[in-house]
Structure 1
């Protein structure tokens, strides 16, 4: 019996390619879901990370406090801009005076730019006049990837209820020029001020800028 429809070799090949493309899209979608980043107004990803002083810091232990997470890399020109000018150290000190817990996070993998051990991290902060509550060492990148941290600096703010209320850049001008700090909209400073006043953060998600985080490959 003659079949109603006969598939040619070329049609079969096209069909196989279509299936492969579809499968690829499904795989990418699944990967994207697995790597979902921290979301605004949702509980911030939990963490338990060793600090530069050897003590373990957990998000649970900070419940009831406003927490700032600052991803950093001391060799990055954008980080040098904000530390050399005194901008980030000033923000850290202002935050501490208001009871805010400011945590630096270093997610550079061993052998990559920005990777340091605990004593070196503490020495760098002393030299720069920095005043974070603690510096967290994340050489595996587990914490950084949980938050979707992309650059140094990249900042996140968690409210006292443990929800993420800000993620993005430190300010609005994405350059390594110190003179641009005064002209920029200070996103993080504004967010902390609004949060302290009991207001919703007006710009909860902005574009981060800086050096890409040197995660382990």
Structure 2
């Protein structure tokens, strides 16, 4: 057990290194900004557009990957978010922005297999060009953007991590995404609207 804990600590340190000294300002969308439409391929072969989801009150956009141990640790919690909030008008949409040349596990075929094995209840989209991740300003996986529909647009209301325990779901004391969505459902502002994402750095394609 000690060795497993040590491996987690080393992975956490490696992936989080350099993030702690960076400012929280978002390089992509900021809080309150409208999100541009995107069109990405789902693992079921269909194309999903953000504009297709305007019947909802909002969307929980999660940038995630297959290979990342942090993404794997949060996988069941991401599924639980969709199960809890889809019926309330805030479905999850997962997006894989990673370059599969860096990790074969993140290929589209492996995305399909993972979604099937885990029984994903939400779209799992491939950001093949990485333009969507760059537009959002995503840097790590998993990283969440909670969007609220305002008229015919979606605006960013929360950016960051899912909760305060990246390893053990039993140790969670702050559920940042749930708090954000609950506030929006109650017509209240999101009090803590930016947290630092904890996860694996997105593997960008070479220009």
Question: Could you state the TM-score of these two structures normalised by the residue count of structure 2?
Answer: 0.78
Distance 2:141 2:118 in 1: 16
Is 1:157 the counterpart of 2:146? The answer is: yes
**Who wins on radius of gyration, i.e. which is larger?**
1
| Structural RMSD (CA) | 1.9
| 2:189 aligned residue | 200
Is 1:56 the counterpart of 2:47? The answer is: yes
Q: In structure 2, the residue corresponding to 1:82 is in which secondary structure? A: helix
Structure 1 unaligned blocks of 5 or more: 1-34
1:79 to 62, 66, 71: 71
How far apart are 1:192 and its partner, in Å?
A: 1.0
Q: Deviations over 1:1-23 (max 9, x none)?
A: xxxxxxxxxxxxxxxxxxxxxxx
Distance 2:107 2:29 in 1: 26
Question: Could you state the TM-score of these two structures normalised by the residue count of structure 1?
Answer: 0.74
Q: In structure 2, the residue corresponding to 1:156 is in which secondary structure? A: strand
Aligned length: 176
1:93 to 83, 99, 117: 83
Q: In structure 2, the residue corresponding to 1:140 is in which secondary structure? A: coil
Q: In structure 2, the residue corresponding to 1:215 is in which secondary structure? A: coil
Q: In structure 2, the residue corresponding to 1:171 is in which secondary structure? A: coil
Name the CA shift for 1:199/1:141 in 2 (closer, same or farther; >3 Å): same
Q: Deviations over 1:126-168 (max 9, x none)?
A: 3224322x11111221100000111110000110111111111
1:120 to 110, 116, 119: 110
Distance 1:38 1:70 in 2: 14
